[in-house]
Amino acid sequence: MKSVCAFCRSLSVILIGILPLISGAQTAPAARDVIRFEDLPRLVSERNENVAAARSTLEAEKVRTGFLGRSFLPEISLSGGGEVYKAGSASALSRENWKIEGRVNLYRGGRDRWEENAREAEVRRAQVASVAELADELKSARLTYWRLLAVEQSLAARMEARVQNEEQLKSARRRTGAGIATSSDAVQFELQDTVLHQEIKKLTKERTFLSDQLRASLGIADGGSLAIDQEFPHPPETDATVKPLEPLQAAAVRELVESEHVAQARARQESRWWTPSLDAYSSYGVPSAGEEPELASRRETEFIAGIRLGLNLPVGAESRAETQARRHEAQALRQRSTQMARQVAVLDVEIRGRLRLLH
């Protein structure tokens, strides 16, 4: 009976080692589909949706530029209709009317220029954010890749150890059956088998989770095959001699700096509330009877052209408040960028030290 149980246990261990190989042979991708560490930058850049979204945001900000030139384009409107007009005891008039109106911006106190400056700063901020998004997603993919590789190699080692432990267990049982050892000799191997079994289950679940996580980072469809290179390459010598990073060139700092530029441009724009607007305008058409009864009754056209100078005084108080608010925002962003630059400098020294040590 004991020999039968031992045979069953041996068979189960062999199956545990063989089944993953069989399933791997059925589902593993071809060699060209094996993901290498060097492939991650390309795959993340091409397939990750967060990276694609950052690029789309950048394109949106680029489209918004050119505001200054567009602000001088003429604004043209067309209108037409009919009405019935009656004044006092006079007979009612039923007339059609139409009009073409145009307006051209000549001067707005520099507010258009500062609007364009703000939009250009938004583009620069979006460019930095796009680079930072790619770096963050690539970092996440690389960490997941190395963790997955470590788990796969640990899992393979546990399976091999379990097979070896089973051999030791069978040997201990043979010695016990021959009367040259006690049954306690086999207990330690049985306990070790239980520990290895639990570790294999835990590592298998972790491998599934990390595979799904890496698949999501690389934009691979759920259920798609995923295999990674099984080697830990030694990092090149250049990785241990990375030059110090200029803190102001760090993406996190640059993004704060460009946000400050946006706030400054908005503040300058709001501070120009007191400057007048100068527009040229013209209109041509048949006026409505309510506007020009005589011309409307004769269906005569009317042409108007002129220059208009305007100043919106009631908006001044709100604009002054908004100017102050924007300046405070710019100051806050300047302070944050300064603090971030200090933290980046400290982190840069620490990371380069770790690189040399790990290398």
End-to-end CA distance of the chain: 55
- Alpha-carbon 207 to chain mean position: 26
Average pLDDT over residues 272-297: 82
Cα-Cα-Cα-Cα dihedral sign, residues 30, 31, 32, 33 = positive
Between residues 128 and 109, which one has the greater pLDDT? 128
Grade residue 237 by pLDDT with cuts at 50, 70 and 90.
Answer: low
**CA nearest 225: which of 40, 17, 25?**
25
- Within the chain, strands assigned E span 75-85, 93-107, 277-286, 302-310
Pairing of strands 93-107, 75-85: antiparallel
Average pLDDT over residues 249-271: 94
Residue showing tokens 């706030």: 263
- Within 287-356, strands assigned E span 302-310
CB-side exposure of 200: number of CA atoms within 13 Å? 18
Predicted confidence (pLDDT) per residue in 9-59, tens digit: 443 433 334 334 334 433 333 334 689 999 999 999 999 999 999 999 999
Predicted confidence (pLDDT) per residue in 251-260, tens digit: 999 999 999 9
Grade residue 217 by pLDDT with cuts at 50, 70 and 90.
Answer: very high
201: pLDDT strictly greater than 80: yes
* Residue 7: per-residue pLDDT: 39
Residue 76 pairs in a beta bridge with 102
229: pLDDT strictly greater than 70: yes
* Residue 312: per-residue pLDDT: 79
Grade residue 168 by pLDDT with cuts at 50, 70 and 90.
Answer: confident
134: pLDDT strictly greater than 80: yes
Q: Rounded to whole angstroms, what are the CA distances from 325 to 54, 230, 263, 267?
A: 28, 56, 9, 8
Average pLDDT over residues 264-281: 92
Q: Enter the pTM of the model.
A: 0.75
Grade residue 301 by pLDDT with cuts at 50, 70 and 90.
Answer: confident
Predicted confidence (pLDDT) per residue in 317-348, tens digit: 888 899 999 999 999 999 999 999 999 999 99
* Residue 89: per-residue pLDDT: 65
